[in-house]
Amino acid sequence: MWAVGSLLPRSSCAAAPAIERPNILVIVSDDQGYADLGFQGCQDIPTPHLDRLARSGIRFSNGYVTHPFCSPTRAALLTGRYQQRFGHENNPFYDPNSHLEGLPVSEKLLPQFLQEAGYATGWIGKWHLGAAPEFQPQNRGFTETFGFLGGGHHYLNWQAETNATAREYNIPIERNGQPVAVTNHLTLAFGDEGAAFIRRHQAGPWFLYLAFNAPHTPEEPTPERLARFASIANPKRRAYAAQVSLLDDAVGQVLAALPASGQAERTLVFFFSDNGGPIMVNGWNGSSNLPLRGGKGEVFEGGIRVPFVMSWPGTLAAGRTYDLPVSSLDVFPTALNLAGRAMPTNHPPDGVNLLPFLTGANTNTPHSALFWRVGGGKQFAVRALDAKLIRRLPSSPALFDLAADQGEAHDLSARRTNEVHQLINAIEGWNQMLVPPVFPGLAGRAGKSPAATKLLVEP
């Protein structure tokens, strides 16, 4: 069916037409379930602001991230490359003195390219790409920064901690590298900051990476918001719903700043979750990935297929659903194309510029194949058209037809052996381009203490 070479990643990055360079807003939620938004069919958690964003643009029914947990996905987003190409395959352990645990400085990030193109650049929220000075956002292309450097944080009433694993969730919120006092619920504080950034830069162009930690654990909604969901019987789901509702309000505040400042039609907005919701008994945050199988940490669809929206009023048609697979890898080349920047040749992106596919200028599929690797090779997956092969050691490969079986309930590997062989060859060819993990991360600390093991699941 496929030649291996035809499935390996290649970029589609034709130059943009001469148009005014738009602002670029990338909003990422954290551990949000595939089913947990109104535009995804959710019934018990109202999300009016994110639903409005979806109606204003394009909802991707097959939108993917590159990894089933937090930090590797973020590394791929900001580099435009599969994170295993440069060894960022684990969640870094929070250690401001470690010059290993972070996104390798050999990689040039999207904000650095956009800064060179004259964009104002801002990061707000969760970083989780290294805590030592060289890894911090203000040294990776972001001129304005506000947030925390670790993989998670309390939303209310945090305080100084000396225990290494507890400290990560209690570190100070920093503005441009300096600690600041935050009295509001952290999710709403991030919304305030996002709206303020937009108002400050009305002249544009600007790039804002707004990375919420909601609805990631711990469950700490405001009492008022929790009371709104008293009808939800399960306490985990109730607290999660309240967290998602706060997230929706914060996003709504950010999005409202665009038309209020006259910037709606010159701002391209992306929204997606960093991975699927965790559904493990001990790690469940109350999310749902239905009808998908699996969740965070797994290469089943529930771990890697996420709510995904792209909106640009006046340029992209509103109210559409796009069914071909797309990836968070595509943000990087789309943004560089719009900024008028040439694609890097030393580290070419693995994503594609989505605009020709969405405007109809290119009627092909954006990706002949998408790949995943977890744990240095403990799990692999490839999706080629509607066929998806999963290889999780020590189990045998499993093959699914996602067009007929998005819940991955029916393994077709015994009936379609030639396809299995071709897709295994494709994975092996892709894997030869990758390197082993370059830092042990949180996984390397697991077993050393109960707290480290617990955090391995949480972030």
Which residues have a Cβ under 8 Å from the Cβ of 52 and sit 6 or more positions away? 252, 255
At residue 212, what is the residue type?
F
How many CA atoms lie less than 13 Å away from 349 in the CB half-sphere? 34
The bridge status of strand 144-148 relative to strand 120-126 is parallel
- On the 0-12 / 13-18 / 19+ scale of CB atoms within 10 A, 283 is middle
Contact 84, 94 (CB under 8 A): no
In one-letter notation, the amino acid at residue 133 is P
Helices (H) and strands (E) counted in the chain, each on its own, are 14, 16
Q: Which is the catalytic residue, given 13, 67, 70, 185?
A: 70
Q: Check 88, 128, 153, 201 and give the catalytic one.
A: 128
Burial 200-235 (b: 16+ CB within 10 A, else e): ebeebbbbbbbbbbbbbbebbbbeebbeebeebeee
* Residue 176 region by backbone torsions, left for phi larger than 0, else alpha for psi between -120 and 50, else beta: left
Catalytic, 70? Answer yes
- Return d(Cα 337, Cα 1) in angstroms, integer: 32
Q: Which two tokens stand for residue 210?
A: 């707004």
Residue 128 known to be catalytic:
yes
Q: How far apart are CA 152 and CA 125, in angstroms?
A: 10
Beta strand 58-60 with 178-180: parallel, antiparallel or unpaired? unpaired
Task: Specify whether the CB–CB gap between 123 and 137 falls below 8 A.
Answer: yes
Task: Kindly state the DSSP code that residue 129 receives in the 8-state scheme.
Answer: S
Q: In what order do the strands lie in the sheet with 387-392?
A: 370-374, 379-384, 387-392, 398-401
**Catalytic positions:** 70, 128
